[in-house]
Structure 1
């Protein structure tokens, strides 16, 4: 059996590959999601010990971590297990970082907040997801803000728990750069904040729209993962690797 951590476009790609290859697998997500693959869906966060025991009990031959780039706790938990099994990080595509006076990359939320305050930005449009609401609370409590989140009950619940004003929530994703530009022009924020979420996170669109509307954009760099991972970003390489592990 293979254990896949998904809930992302990359997770679905891995599941589709395993389905076609007739390789049995578990598909693990933090929250319950609609899953139509042939694997066995499971959900809920696992501790290091729980993950180790799950791998032993279910004869896991390989773990494929295809979760979101910013799922740092999961990345660290998987890398920390003491089971002697291969661990693969199936990554999305990331383009080269943009060098422009309106584009700033930061290493942490704390550094991002320092940038907002140093530049005296008085309003923010955060395209960084619902989990970042609490991380930026010290800023939005004192400044105008909008957060764009997924249009689902669990996201609304997280925002509500953080006491974030529901009237300042935006839902869904624009489908192209023009829709993004129109949103920026409508809200006129002093700063755009987002994560380095790669091609699938439509980062290029966000940067392009920010440059065309002359609005500064601060981008939180993707976290590094443990060197215990074998990092792969193509299905072809994943195929060769997994076949070698399970034969």
Structure 2
């Protein structure tokens, strides 16, 4: 049995591969989502102890972590388990970081806020996700800020809990460059903030639109992973690894 942490495009790719190869698996997500695969869907965050017990009870032979690059708590929890089991990180594709005067990479939210203050950015379009609303409170309390979040009740609840102004919420997914350019021109923020979310997160489109509109973009670097992970972004390589572990 394989345990897949999904909720992403990569998670769906792994599930599809396991379906095609008739390998049984659990498909785990933090919240309940619609799942069409042949695996057994489970949802809810797991502690280290709960994860260990789940793997032992269900005879899990391999974990494939295909969750979001910024699911830091999950990445750390999986890497910390004290049972001997292979842990594979199935990653999305990331393009090379670029060197441009309008592009700044930061390692933390705190560093991002420091950049906003240092460069006197008094308005911001945040494409960094609903979970960063609370973390950016000290900035948006004093500066005009728009957040683009997913159009779902759970996201609205998080924004409401943070007391963020509902009229400054935008809903939807990242768009193609032309649509992003139209949005950037309409709002005309002094800066854009996003995460290093890779090709599937359409980071390239966000950067291209920012450069086209001459708006500075600040990018939160993806977290470093534990060296316990066996990393790959190839389904073929994933297949080779899993076959070894389940035999």
TM-score of the pair, normalised by structure 1: 0.99
SS for the counterpart of 1:52 is helix
Measured after TM superposition, the shift of residue 242 of structure 1 is: 0.3
2:226 maps to 226
Mapped partners of 2:174, 2:82: distance in 1: 42
1:117-142 superposed Cα distances (whole Å, 9 cap, x missing partner): 00011000000110110110100011
1:98 maps to 98
Measured after TM superposition, the shift of residue 176 of structure 1 is: 1.2
1:160-214 superposed Cα distances (whole Å, 9 cap, x missing partner): 1111111100011243100000000000000000000000000000000000000
C-alpha contact (below 8 Å) 2:174/2:201 kept by paired residues: no
TM-score of the pair, normalised by structure 2: 0.99
2:243 maps to 243
| 1:1-247 matches, cutoff 5 A | 1-247=1-247
CA 62–181 in structure 1, closer or farther in 2 if over 3 Å, else same = same
Q: What is the aligned residue count?
A: 247
1:99-154 superposed Cα distances (whole Å, 9 cap, x missing partner): 10000000111100100000011000000110110110100011000000011111
1:47-95 superposed Cα distances (whole Å, 9 cap, x missing partner): 0000000000000000000000000000000000001000000000000
CA RMSD of aligned residues (A): 0.6
Mapped partners of 2:72, 2:176: distance in 1: 29
Mapped partners of 1:4, 1:83: distance in 2: 17
Mapped partners of 1:153, 1:100: distance in 2: 38
C-alpha contact (below 8 Å) 2:174/2:202 kept by paired residues: no
Mapped partners of 2:116, 2:65: distance in 1: 33
SS for the counterpart of 2:181 is helix
Measured after TM superposition, the shift of residue 3 of structure 1 is: 0.2
